[in-house]
Amino acid sequence: MSENQESLAKLGHENRLFPPSAEFIAQANAQASMYDEAEKDRLAFWEKQAHELQWDAPWTTVLDWKVPFAKWFVGGKINASVNALDRHVAQGRGDRVAFFFEGEPGDTRTITYAQLLTEVKKTANALTELGIKDGDRVAIYMPMIPEAAIAMLACARIGAPHSVVFGGFSADALLSRIQDADAKLVITADGGYRKGAPFALKPAVDDALKGKTNVKNVLVVKRTGQETHWDSNKDVWWHDIVDRQSTEHVAQSFDSEHPLFILYTSGTTAKPKGISHTTGGYLTQVAYTHKMVFDIKPETDVYWCTADVGWVTGHSYVVYGPLINGATQVMYEGTPDTPHKGRIFELIAKYKVSILYTAPTLIRTWMKWGDEFPNAHNLKSLRLLGSVGEPINPEAWMWYREVIGGDRCPIVDTWWQTETGAIMISPLPGVTHTKPGSAMRPLPGISGKVVDDNGKEVGLGHGGYLILDKPWPSMLRGIWGEEERYKETYWSRFDGVYFAGDGAKIDTDAAIWLLGRVDDVMNVSGHRISTTEVESALVSHAAVAEAAVVGAADEMTGQGIVAFVILRGGIPNVCGEELIKELRAHVAKEIGAIAKPRQIVVVQELPKTRSGKIMRRLLKDVAENRAVGDSTTLADPNVMALISQGLSTAKDED
């Protein structure tokens, strides 16, 4: 608990309070009465939210709960793609824009709900032609282009769970995810655009498929037109097979508990966890939260969530939530500084974006770049701002409010996880008085608490661990193929309640402040990476005997990865810089560029207790340039002095 207490001590007293404006209150979707309503009869409350969706058959039981296994809306039948698309077209909203797509090079596409439905139907037919049936897993490895959403919705339409793998992951990472889910098909693109240049994706798929898999086909979208290696036994161009399909496709109904997707996320071991989500409960909660937290008015709002579909935020708040609510969205392929640092602001002005949902790391980057970039564009269309992925520091929150939101937009700081599927803790705009840096309180229908080491609720003004003590509709149903790990990871720390892995403080007004992970999971630019994952990548390099990795506070990225390595006997650290470069590249190859350590320090020894446990807390002190804390339990008390002296750094240049 010591790191958590340190963060608690750092958290100053935040007294600023921002009540919603009268104007916002007058038009808000959410009402304060929802808290009481949900409190009185939680299941009736969720049932009411589920009725907002189109069901093909009603459920018989709202919740079947045998700790830790939940089934929601049992017996109900539903199709995710019908709820996202067909329903709008059938009700006369086919001409509404679903996506304003902007490619990084400046190419644009405007896609209406009717057009999106046609594309999804054709793609569903193509998947069927490729032999994909309900229950088959499909891996999706794509740039941020409309076909990524189309592929997901087509899978959902035919009941084939998708497993989206972020396009920044390496071939090795892709292979392990393909193998774990036993995917039959991979959907990818020749490449995409990033930082002003095309990058390739297909070669990583080719590399991955050199491993043993049951993948029969690779479906490839032509995005960049770059030279692409082709195996005509396996590879199929999207335009060759999708374009000639019928535009008719009658969606089947699936059980409420039919698996919708698997999404891999880092845990405390090297092996990522395949977080499994099902259909009815997930859709209910993403639609409800999207409507209430973002106050969406689908007829007039232009909504932009900047997340990639490779992360859960892209699943819940680009694909399923907004489309179910009939929202008009902006989708952008590239990086925020291409071709200039005002790109995002230029797009907000161009499309008159009214709701922006992004991550603290980007907000801090904008702060560093300077106010002149947002100030050069008309951002008056914005009326609500959201934040997700990591704690937002009060300073960044204030900047977001003042410079981006012109002091008039409420900010929703939304806490949730891949595992929770949808937002759990957040202000309700038009209801909640917000404090800079606090996610405030659990949403109506959600029960979360801050508890101490023994699982006892801490009093107001105290810190501890965040837990969720009642099941919620969009909760994970398990870890793919690993039932024991599911119980062990989430349900064993405190008996019968979900342990989120985050430290939190509840202040004297009962507002919740998230304090970051308390386990071995790092949060780098809002992306979860486990220390063990990076350590095992490092020791898989021939030069490394042992490695210890810590997440050190980083002004820009939240946390930065700092690795301490012991070289194998006989490997001289002569060409230090060279070797460190090589090790960083090696981690990028094993996991992906997002996991490259910011610093690698070659050491002679690692600080260990007498029982051989590495004391990461001490390494973190070094990495954060602090005086090293209590090291009396070290087997060799001199180790830390040596490590501190030997701190030589190789900074990330890319």
517 known ligand binder: yes
Select the residue interacting with ligand WTA from 68, 322, 386, 389 (CB under 6 A). 389
Q: Which amino acid is it at 243? A: D
Measured CA to CA, the distance from residue 289 to residue 555 in angstroms comes to 30
Specify the stretch interacting with ligand WTA by CB under 6 A; choose among 133-141, 378-386, 408-416, 603-611: 408-416
Q: Interface with ligand WTA includes 289 (CB under 6 A)?
A: no
| Least Cβ distance, residue 317 to ligand WTA (angstroms) | 9
Q: Interface with ligand WTA includes 416 (CB under 6 A)?
A: yes
Pick between residue 4 and residue 523 the one whose CB is nearest to ligand WTA: 523
Which residues 6+ apart lie within 8 Å of 168 measured at CB? 310, 592, 593, 594
Pattern 487-526, binding to ligand WTA, x per CB under 6 A?
-------------xxx-----------x-xx-----x---
- Tokens 């929150």 belong to 397
Q: Interface with ligand WTA includes 413 (CB under 6 A)?
A: yes
Select the residue interacting with ligand WTA from 144, 439, 451, 601 (CB under 6 A). 439
How many beta carbons lie within 10 A of that of residue 36, not counting itself?
Answer: 11
Q: Which amino acid is it at 17? A: L
593 known ligand binder: no
Judged by DSSP in three states, 250 sits in coil
Instruction: Name which of 311, 293, 402, 444 is nearest 355 in CA terms.
Output: 293
Pick between residue 439 and residue 451 the one whose CB is nearest to ligand WTA: 439
User: Restricting to residues 417-436, which ones interact with ligand WTA according to CB under 6 A?
Assistant: 417-418
DSSP secondary structure string, 469-486?
A: -S--TT---EETT-HHHH
541 known ligand binder: yes
Note the Cα 96 to chain centre separation in Å.
Answer: 27
Q: Using alpha carbons, list the distances in angstroms from residue 581 to 34, 359, 456, 587, 643.
A: 54, 29, 47, 10, 20
* Helix H or strand E encompassing 342: none
| Least Cβ distance, residue 88 to ligand WTA (angstroms) | 26
Per-residue DSSP letter, 101: E
Measured CA to CA, the distance from residue 114 to residue 116 in angstroms comes to 5
Instruction: Name which of 424, 407, 149 is nearest 292 in CA terms.
Output: 424
- Cα distance between the two ends of the chain: 35
Q: Interface with ligand WTA includes 391 (CB under 6 A)?
A: yes
| Least Cβ distance, residue 177 to ligand WTA (angstroms) | 15
Pick between residue 256 and residue 530 the one whose CB is nearest to ligand WTA: 530
Per the document, the length of the chain is 654
Q: Interface with ligand WTA includes 306 (CB under 6 A)?
A: no
Pick between residue 170 and residue 358 the one whose CB is nearest to ligand WTA: 358
Q: Interface with ligand WTA includes 414 (CB under 6 A)?
A: yes
Q: Interface with ligand WTA includes 415 (CB under 6 A)?
A: yes
Interface contacts to ligand WTA, rule CB under 6 A: 265, 311-313, 388-391, 413-418, 439, 500-502, 514, 516-517, 523, 528
Residue list for the binding site for ATP:
389-391, 413-418, 502, 517, 528
Residue list for the binding site:
194-197, 313, 389-391, 413-418, 502, 517, 525, 528, 539, 541, 544
